[in-house]
């Protein structure tokens, strides 16, 4: 860890996230803290730590003027940016509890969270968002104030349409604030809640995970013993701050290290923003790396034979060298005494162009939130991208284990962090305990009790193995498909293999209690255009997706992608779509994971149709 001995010792004494923020301002007031794009001026705007201290003070005064009780919940529905930091830090400074929500979640889900957490204040980006939430009709008896941050916001005092909730603009709210008194001290500030983070709910209603200052600060410290983060590092932030992965690693950790966080304009503009910002650290989920991989495969398919050969050779030699450095056994035993000679040339001719897509100066990239397919990992590691996988969950603040630059086995999620213990329980379940483990679920004592074993370990719900101290995730216990013949299949593994083919944007497999596995897929529109031309069908006619020739061709790709699986696991029927399953539609989580129960309900009629017919092949 290279943030200085004084900084390291000081971090050991910090118990709350508010203290961490104040300490950082005192340490490097002129350092660049944040940068974001102003859509009105068309410019990137930079903020120093001192700037942020002044802005947060204004938000704190406005929030303090409401004279809410300590522990009051402040719901935050904002895109990543400086405003989200301000309301978070203002809440923490007053002993209130931020409740972050995903900015593009559907209104019903947002209304549920506001009601469930008994929020007193809601900070929202647009008036249209609030109108949609209010129209759901859920009672929100404790909600007193809605603050709208958009510049064309309503005047103060405008009723919100429900229980006379006041809706005001951010500018007016801040302008009317007066200096608020400091909150009353507490004996154990670190034990107070620093957030209620609602799980993304891949199955059922989300639950509010209660995380304390101690939980999160301990996790930040532990992560910094695994990776080296420098004051001059630049993070590009695009995962939602409502997700604990981004919240801890992409927000609180850079405060500890004095690094700069640049907020991406949008997920759609990530490729362009990477080249503009040129980050040195990237925190992401697998889907982003998979999209880059898909684009590479598309470009490769259109390249000449020499280019394809050089690409494959660069990846092969690079992967071989990576395995040697990490002492990873290579299955084919391949080796070449000439790798060292040809590798520098291939790096200049091929690898640098690939790495330039990420900005060209990444010191390391972190991947978490879901499993990363091995072809994607092999590709980027082979091209020299230091890609580190880890494992965690909202309930563990979130990081449990991670690989490091010097100990990086991509088929695993690394070793547990300092202060964390792991074991394998019944049904091969991974169980953990440590300072990062949550205090329970908000208003759900029964669920809280069931989340723990009798001797105090957290049920992760994931099947895993621990080999030489490294954790290898096998799959979700509840998501394992058991066919009518008794075969057990991890659907996520199949889906990862399928979307490794750039023809597919998304994949969902089913087959619980059935005689065979079926796949539901969303095609990449550009690849569909090429496939439809090859098959001589009309790409613009949605009925073409149901043609037997199209299904057979798509199923052939699926079976090729899943050829390494046992025969019983390979899909034998397929249904095809072009419209992606979305967060707004309630079918994806904020970290782009499938909501399996919701998808199953959504596709129920088609699922029934698949199994009412014979498999295509």
403: CB partners within 8 A, 6+ apart: 388, 389, 390, 409, 410, 412, 413, 414, 415
- pLDDT over threshold 50, residue 564: yes
The H-assigned helical ranges of 170-236 are 170-175, 213-224
d(CA 369, CA 591): 7
DSSP 276-295: HH--SEEEE-HHHHHHHHHH
pLDDT in tens, 191-228: 999 999 998 654 457 899 999 999 999 999 999 999 99
Q: Homologous superfamily of 287-476 in CATH?
A: ANL, N-terminal domain (3.40.50.12780)
Q: What is the pLDDT of residue 275?
A: 97
Q: Which residue has the higher pLDDT, 294 or 379?
A: 379
Domain boundaries, the chain: 5-184+239-247, 287-476, 481-612
- pLDDT over threshold 50, residue 387: yes
pLDDT band of residue 84 (cuts 50, 70, 90) is very high
Q: What is the pLDDT of residue 302?
A: 87
Residue 365 in tokens: 């990239």
Angle at 114 (CA atoms; ends 88, 150), nearest 5 degrees: 55
Alpha-carbon torsion angle 55, 56, 57, 63, nearest 10: 120
User: 481-612: which CATH topology?
Assistant: GMP Synthetase; Chain A, domain 3 (3.30.300)
User: 5-184+239-247: which CATH topology?
Assistant: Rossmann fold (3.40.50)
pLDDT in tens, 15-45: 999 999 999 999 999 999 999 999 999 999 9
pLDDT band of residue 411 (cuts 50, 70, 90) is very high
What percent of the chain is modeled with pLDDT above 90?
Answer: 73
- Residue 420 exposure: Cα atoms within 13 Å on the Cβ side: 35
Q: What is the pLDDT of residue 615?
A: 61
52: left (phi over 0), alpha (psi -120 to 50) or beta: alpha
Pairing of strands 32-38, 43-48: antiparallel
- Assess contact for 434 and 420: CB atoms under 8 A: yes
- pLDDT over threshold 50, residue 138: yes
- pLDDT over threshold 60, residue 378: yes
d(CA 297, CA 303): 10
pTM of the model: 0.84
- Assess contact for 404 and 387: CB atoms under 8 A: no
Q: What is the pLDDT of residue 14?
A: 94
Question: Hey, how many other C-beta atoms are within 10 angstroms of the C-beta on 99?
Answer: 27
d(CA 316, CA 354): 15
Q: Tell me if domain 5-184+239-247 and domain 287-476 are identical in fold.
A: yes
The average pLDDT across 431-452 equals 96
Q: What is the pLDDT of residue 319?
A: 95
pLDDT band of residue 335 (cuts 50, 70, 90) is low
């Amino acid at each position: 860890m290279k943030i200085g001995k004084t900084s390291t010792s000081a971090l050991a004494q910090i118990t709350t996230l508010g203290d961490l923020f104040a300490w950082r301002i005192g340490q490097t007031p002129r350092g660049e803290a944040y940068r974001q794009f102003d859509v009105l001026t068309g410019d990137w705007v930079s903020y120093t730590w001192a700037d942020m201290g002044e802005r947060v003070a204004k938000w704190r005064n406005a929030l303090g003027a409401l004279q809410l009780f300590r522990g009051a919940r402040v719901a935050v529905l904002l895109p990543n940016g400086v405003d989200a930091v301000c309301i978070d830090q203002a809440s923490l400074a007053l002993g209130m509890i931020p409740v972050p929500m995903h900015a593009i979640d559907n209104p019903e889900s947002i209304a549920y969270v506001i009601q469930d957490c008994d929020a007193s204040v809601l900070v929202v980006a647009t008036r249209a968002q609030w109108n949609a939430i209010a129209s759901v009709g859920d009672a929100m008896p404790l909600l007193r104030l809605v603050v709208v941050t958009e510049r064309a916001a309503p005047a103060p005092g405008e009723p919100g349409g429900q229980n006379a909730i006041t809706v005001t603009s951010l500018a007016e709210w801040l302008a009317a604030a007066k200096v608020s008194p400091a909150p009353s001290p507490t004996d154990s500030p670190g034990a107070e809640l620093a957030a209620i983070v609602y799980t993304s709910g891949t199955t059922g209603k989300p639950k509010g995970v209660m995380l304390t200052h101690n939980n999160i600060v301990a996790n930040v410290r532990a992560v910094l013993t695994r990776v080296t983060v420098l004051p001059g590092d630049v993070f590009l932030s695009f995962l939602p701050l409502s997700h604990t992965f981004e919240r801890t690693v992409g927000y609180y950790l850079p405060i500890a290290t004095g690094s700069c966080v640049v907020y991406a304009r949008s997920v759609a503009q990530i490729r362009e923003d990477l080249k503009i910002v040129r980050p040195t650290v990237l925190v992401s989920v697998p889907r982003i790396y998979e999209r880059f991989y898909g684009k590479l495969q598309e470009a490769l398919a259109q390249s000449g034979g020499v280019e394809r050969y050089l690409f494959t050779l660069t990846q092969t030699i690079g992967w071989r060298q990576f395995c040697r450095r990490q002492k990873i056994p290579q299955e084919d035993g391949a080796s070449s005494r000439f790798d060292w000679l040809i590798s520098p040339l291939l790096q200049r001719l091929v690898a640098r162009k690939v790495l330039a897509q990420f900005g060209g100066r990444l010191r390391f990239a972190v991947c978490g939130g879901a499993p990363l397919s091995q072809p994607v990992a092999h590709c980027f590691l082979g091209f020299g991208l230091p890609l580190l996988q880890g494992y965690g969950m909202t309930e563990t603040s979130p990081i449990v284990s991670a690989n490091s630059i010097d100990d990086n086995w991509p088929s695993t999620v690394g070793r547990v962090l300092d202060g964390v213990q792991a074991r394998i329980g019944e049904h091969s379940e991974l169980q953990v305990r440590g300072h990062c483990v949550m205090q329970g679920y908000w208003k759900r004592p029964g669920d809280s009790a069931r989340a723990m074993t009798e001797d105090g370990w957290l049920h992760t719900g994931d099947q895993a193995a621990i080999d030489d101290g490294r954790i290898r995730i096998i799959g979700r216990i509840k998501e394992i498909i058991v066919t009518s013949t008794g075969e057990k299949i991890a659907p996520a593994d199949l889906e990862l293999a399928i979307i490794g083919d750039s023809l597919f944007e998304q994949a969902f497999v089913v087959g619980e209690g059935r005689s065979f596995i079926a796949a539901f897929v969303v095609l990449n529109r550009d690849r569909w255009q090429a496939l439809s031309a090859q098959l001589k069908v009309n790409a613009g006619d949605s009925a073409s997706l149901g043609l037997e020739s199209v299904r057979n061709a798509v199923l052939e790709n699926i079976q090729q992608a899943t050829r390494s699986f046992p025969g019983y696991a390979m899909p034998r029927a397929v249904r095809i779509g072009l419209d992606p399953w979305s967060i707004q539609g309630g079918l994806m989580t904020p970290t782009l994971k499938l909501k399996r129960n919701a998808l199953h309900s959504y596709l129920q009629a088609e699922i029934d149709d698949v199994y009412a017919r014979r498999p295509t092949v």
